[in-house]
Amino acid sequence: MTTLAPAVSAIAPEGNTRPIAVRCRQVTKNYGSGNSTVRALRGVDLDVFEGEMLMMVGPSGCGKTTLISVVAGVLDRDAGECSVFGKDFSALSGSERTRFRGQTIGFVFQSFNLIPTLTIAENVSVPLLLNGVGRSAALKKAKDMLAVVGLGDRVNEAPNRLSGGQQQRVAISRALVHDPKLIVCDEPTSALDHETGGRVMELLRSVAMSGNRSLIVVTHDNRIFNFADRIAHMDDGIVDKVVGSAKDLYGPNMAAK
């Protein structure tokens, strides 16, 4: 039988005045039923502040991806409370939820998820189109955004003509182009080498963090921990530690982890 680590509060202390972007209380999520039930989230408490980059770390299968899926409204929780900028996804209808997600949240995926038959400018323009912007205006804004991430001269190329790092920069552009207030990144550097990953994180830090935007970054990559404002450690379906730096989490010999 596994001995579970005691849950440590990851919520804002009483009297906190920092605006909260994401608020989770006792969030649970199970997969399957009966004897094969997997308890992915066992009562997660977590606050993410506006203007901070929170990294979520922990062993594989600890529930990180499930938690960001619930936070981003792409997965229903079983119990508990979870709100994003005060809106609870479970209180919204399907179409309201889709619209709110499209307006409020930007996504950066581990495998980029760019549509290979569209140009990179067209890929970046998708969130704008979904928010009602006309195609030509959306493309113009997408190209401007690509220029910000250093791909202004490659806007008409197909994603598969770019390197992994460049594709992730396209994905970051797509996540930012409609100016969402929350960015959810799932393993944004795991498909990239150390140097490229570092550059991607610098870009996220410099571009995405502007405008008091909040970022939740799920990662295994301890090389990028130093970009975080806070690090939430998950294990066995709960957030068991929230610390200010990797050193606080793993001790001085962080690289060993």
Partner 1 sequence: MIYYALKMLFGDKARYLGILVGVAFAALLITQQGAIFVGLMERTYSFVADTPQPDLWVVDPDLQHHSDSKPLVGQKLFRVRGVQGVEWATPMFKSFTKMRLPSGERRGCIVVGVDDNTLVGAPQSIDSRNGLDLRKADAVLVDRADIEKKLAVRTPDGGTRPLQIGDVLELNDRRAVVAGTFSINPSFFWDPVIYTTYSRAISYSPQERKQLSFILVKVKPGQDIATVAARIESATGLKAYTESGFKWLTASYILEKTGILVNFGIAVLLGFGVGTAVAGQTFYNFTLDNLRHFGALKALGTPNKTLLAMVLTQALVVGLIGYGLGVGGAAAFGALIGGTSLAFSLPWQLLVITGVAILGISIFAAALSIRKVLYLEPGVVFRG
Helix axes 120-130, 135-148, angle to 10 degrees: 120
Taking the least distance from each CB to partner 1, the nearer of 178 and 230 is 178
- Under rule CB under 8 A, residue 252 binds partner 1: no
- The DSSP symbol for 131 reads T
- Would you give the binding string for partner 1 spanning residues 96-125, x where CB under 8 A is met? --xx-xxx-x-x-xxx-x-xxxx---x---
CB of 239 to partner 1, least distance (A): 18
Amino acid at 127: P
What are φ and ψ of residue 236, in 5° steps?
50, 45
Q: Rounded to an integer, what distance in angstroms lies between the CA atom of residue 143 and that of residue 137?
A: 10
Three-state SS at 118? coil
**DSSP H helices in the chain:** 64-71, 94-104, 120-130, 135-148, 164-176, 194-203, 246-250
* Contact set for partner 1, span 188-247 (CB under 8 A): none
- Under rule CB under 8 A, residue 75 binds partner 1: yes
Residue 6 CB partners (closer than 8 Å, separation 6+): 240
CA 163 remoteness from chain centre: 22
CB of 36 to partner 1, least distance (A): 18
Q: Give how many residues touch partner 1 by CB under 8 A.
A: 32
- Under rule CB under 8 A, residue 28 binds partner 1: no
CB of 170 to partner 1, least distance (A): 13
Stretch that binds partner 1, among 5-13, 37-45, 93-101, 232-240 (CB under 8 A): 93-101
Taking the least distance from each CB to partner 1, the nearer of 5 and 115 is 115
Q: Rounded to an integer, what distance in angstroms lies between the CA atom of residue 84 and that of residue 82?
A: 7
In Å, what is the CA distance from 109 to each residue of 14, 112, 174, 248? 34, 5, 11, 27
Three-state SS at 214? strand
CB of 127 to partner 1, least distance (A): 6
CB of 176 to partner 1, least distance (A): 12
Q: Which of 95, 136, 153, 255 binds partner 1 (CB under 8 A)?
A: 95
Q: Which of 7, 129, 209, 254 binds partner 1 (CB under 8 A)?
A: 129
- Would you give the binding string for partner 1 spanning residues 147-186, x where CB under 8 A is met? ---------------------------x-----------x
Closest CA to 181 of 101, 78, 95: 101
> What is the binding site for partner 1 (CB under 8 A)?
65, 68-69, 72, 74-75, 94-95, 98-99, 101-103, 105, 107, 109-111, 113, 115-118, 122, 126-127, 129-131, 135, 174, 186
